[in-house]
Chains A and B, each alone.
Chain A
Amino acid sequence: AQSVTQLGSHVSVSEGALVLLRCNYSSSVPPYLFWYVQYPNQGLQLLLKYTSAATLVKGINGFEAEFKKSETSFHLTKPSAHMSDAAEYFCAVSGLRGTSYGKLTFGQGTILTVHP
């Protein structure tokens, strides 16, 4: 079974500041991990994915995440926040086994607010 915990339902940063959104996972098998972003009244869009290649994964819009097995973490970062980054972010894990192939288990989401 897999699960994801996102620490902090709301994160607020100033424009130009570092963005750090935390995600910890639990998985009985080597996980594939994802970050998705959801803008208001839109569906989810993939930001980046970890598939057991490089542990530091770069995604769209300047975001990156680092897989740390020892900490069971997959935190999302961006060096400098932009106003357009304001959205809700979801971390997800896929176990990729059996009949639930590709099924994702999502965290509760973190709403990112960016102040001018």
Chain B
Amino acid sequence: GAGVSQSPSNKVTEKGKDVELRCDPISGHTALYWYRQSLGQGLEFLIYFQGNSAPDKSGLPSDRFSAERTGGSVSTLTIQRTQQEDSAVYLCASSSPLTSGGIGELFFGEGSRLTVL
């Protein structure tokens, strides 16, 4: 697609429920990142995919968080047993070393706003 697409744009859920957030990166971008943006915390790195593998998942805050990527394209971030502190905007970004000259320029989606009641 023309840009990074994320869905849903807004999600309201009850504490304890599971949620899935989807990211469709720019076509041909091999690298995919998830970040979390919350008030007072800025932008926190969650996980990085190169193709379908995740060489860096150091930012996942707990084992309730997981992510996968299939076909080197779409990625899903899953949060199990959601807590109120999970409320945030979850941003996805993709990049291609080839087109960006290997400097790590990230292209961001508009984010999925998660509210846990």
Chain A positions near chain B (C-beta within 8 angstroms): 32, 34, 36, 41-46, 49, 51, 90, 94, 96, 99-109
Contacts and interface: CB of A to CB of B under 8 A. Distances in A.
Interface residues of B, number: 26
Contacts of B104: 32, 94, 96, 101-104
Chain B's interface: helix, strand, loop or mixed, by majority? strand
A41 B42 contact: no
Contacts of A99: 48, 50, 55-56
Given A42-B110, A43-B108, A99-B55, A107 B42 contact: yes
B31 A102 contact: yes
Contacts, number: 67
B110 A94 contact: no
Given A102-B31, A103-B45, A108-B42, A46 B56 contact: no
Interface in B81-99: 91, 93, 95, 97
Interface of B: 4, 31, 33, 35, 42-43, 45, 48, 50, 55-56, 91, 93, 95, 97, 101-111
Contacts of A41: 110
Contacts of B97: 101-102
A109 B42 contact: yes
Contact of A104 (B4, B55, B106): B106
A34 B110 contact: no
B101 A51 contact: yes
A44 B56 contact: no
